[in-house]
Structure 1
C-alpha cells in the first residue's frame, strides 16, 4: 500500500506539502497541489481517515446525541452507529439530551471543545447551537428528525405513512373511536404520526375528534396521565395509536389501573417493536422502525462527510412495517 512518503517522492515535494495539499490548505501553490493530487491518484494512495483527523488535532471520535437513552429505539440506533464507526477505527461517545434543547446545546459545545471528528444527533426540536459545528467545519448528521432551519444529511423514517397504515389497520378491525397518544407539538415525529392518524381517518371518512387526541412528552408518565384522561370521557376511545414504546409503558399501566384489557376492551398499536412487545399479554401490535439501519446509515453518511464536507446534503428515508399481534384484534 503506498504511503505519504511515496506520494512525496513521486511529486518531488515534502511529506508536509503532501499533507497540506491533500487537506486542501490554501497555502499550497496550486501547481504543487495539482502535482501532489496527480501523484496520489497514480499511486492509488488513500489517506488514513483517523490518522488524518489526529494530524488536524481532531480525535478519531464521533459524538452521538440521542433523545432518550432509555428508549430501545435510540439504543438500537446507537448500536448501528457504533458498529459502522468501529469498523474504520472510530470510537463513539454517547450523550443523552432527554429532549432538552439546553442539554443538547451543552453536548454540542463539549463536542467542539473535545475536537470530535463529527456529530450525529436526534434534534430536540428546539433551536440548537449546531451552527457552531458548521462554522467550525465539523461534520454532522441528523437522525429521526431533521434539524430545524438547517440543511444537513438526515436519516428519517416515513412515520406519517406508517401511522396512516397502523390507523387503517385499526379501522379495518372494526374499531370506531380510535384515539391517538403522541408527543409534543413541534417535534417532527410527533406531528407526523398525528398527521398520519388523521390521514387514515379522513380517507375512511371515519369519525375524527380532538377529544380523542392527547399530546404529551415522549415519556411513560405523560402517556399514563393522557390515557387516564382519555378513558375517563363519557365516550372513551375503543382503540389507541401510541407514538412510541416508552409512552406505551404508561398507557399499559393506566389501562391496568382501570381494569381495561388491551385486545379485548380496547385495541392498541404502538410505534417501535421493543423487546418486551411480544411478551406482554396480549402481545402488542407494533409499527417496527429499522432503528439499527438508521444508525448504520447515519454513521456511513457521517464518515463520508468527514472525508468531504463540501458534499451537498442528502435525505435518506427508510420505511417501517406493521407487525400485527393480538392487541389490535377484536
Structure 2
C-alpha cells in the first residue's frame, strides 16, 4: 500500500507538498501534476492523505542539541531515545553547533516533515525562535536551556545553585582568587552558572569589580577553555583557582595549566559536568554532577504526555546537581 512518503519520493517533492495538493493548498501547477501522476501510478488514494500524515506525525520526534561531541548531550540524547522507544517513537537527532541559523533550519524541517513534536536545547536564550512550531500546534519541550520568550514545557537543571555550590566549595577549601570560565553570552546555562559564581563571590565579600575582571566567556569547547585559561593566567593578579562551566572547556583549561607548569590542587580547578575520566586524571577532578540522562528521559516523558492529549498546564521540571569533591580542589598547600 503506497503512502504519502512514497508519492512524495516519486514526484520529487516533500510530503507536505503532497498534502497541499490533495487538500487545496497553494502548489504550482507543474508540481501538482507531478504529484497527481505519481499518486495514480502508485495507486495512492487521496482520502488516505490525512491517515498517512497522522501515522507520520505519530512516529517521529526531533531532538535538537548544541554539541553531539559533548558527553553531557550524548547522555541526554540516550535518555530521550530510551523513553521514546517505549512508545514506538523514533528520534531524529539534529546537531546545531550553538548556531541559531542552523537551529532555525532544523526547526523548519521539523515543520515541513510534520514531526510529532520537538525536544530542543536552545542555541540562544534570546534568539531561538519556536513560534513556527507553536503556530502549528506542535508540542515542544525545552531541555537544559529554555528560550526566554517561549511558552513551552521544560526540563531544567538548577544551574545557578550548582554554580554557587561549586564556587563556595573552592572558597571553603582556602582558594582566595577564584576565577570563572563560562559559556557563550546569551546561553541560559552560561548565564545561570555565572550568576551562581557571582552570588558566592559576593557572599564571600569579594568586590564585584574583581569578579568581573576574572570572568571569561568562551564557546563551551576545548579550544575556548584553553584560550580563556591562558588569558586569566596572564592577568596582573592571576587567579589561584577556576570554576569552569562545562566539561569540554575544563579539558582546555587543564591543558593551559600544564603548559604553564601549574598543577592542581595548588591551583584549584572544578568542572561543571562530570565525565567518565574525572576520577582517572591526576589529581582526580572535582565536578558538579549533572543528571543528563534524567533530563532527556524527563523531556521525552513530558512530550509523550502532550502527544497523548494531556490538557495539563505547562510544566517546568527542575533537577538538582550534586557536587563531587575530589583532589583537584584539596586546597593550596595540600601537597
Give the TM-score normalised by structure 2: 0.80
Provide the rounded CA distance (Å) in 2 between the counterparts of 1:76 and 1:55.
30
Q: 1:197 to 1:89 in 2, by over 3 A?
A: same
Q: What is the aligned partner in structure 1 of residue 64 from structure 2? A: 65
Matches within 5 A, 1:1-330: 55=54, 57-125=56-124, 126-208=126-208, 209=210, 210-264=212-266, 266-308=267-309, 310-330=311-331
> How far apart are residue 127 of structure 1 and its match?
2.3
Per-residue deviation, residues 223-262 of structure 1 (Å, max 9, x unmatched): 1111101001122100000000011111011111111112
| Secondary structure of the structure 1 residue equivalent to 2:294 | helix
Q: Give secondary structure in 2 for the equivalent of 1:116.
A: coil
Distance 2:128 2:194 in 1: 24
Q: Which moved more, 1:185-194 or 1:55-64?
A: 55-64
Q: Distance in 2 between matches of 1:110 and 1:187?
A: 23
Question: Which secondary structure does the structure 1 equivalent of 2:59 belong to?
Answer: strand
Secondary structure (helix, strand or coil) at the match of 2:116 reads: strand
| CA distance 1:309–1:150, shift in 2 (3 Å) | farther
Gaps of 5+ in 2: 1-50
Q: TM-score, normalised by structure 1?
A: 0.81
Deviation of the 1:148 alpha carbon: 2.3
1:53 Cα shift? 8.4
1:53·1:60 contact (CA, 8 Å) conserved in 2? no
Cα distance in 1 for residues equivalent to 2:238 and 2:230? 10
C-alpha contact (below 8 Å) 1:176/1:207 kept by paired residues? no
Runs of 4+ in structure 1 off by over 6 angstroms are none
Deviation at 1:311, TM superposition (A): 3.6
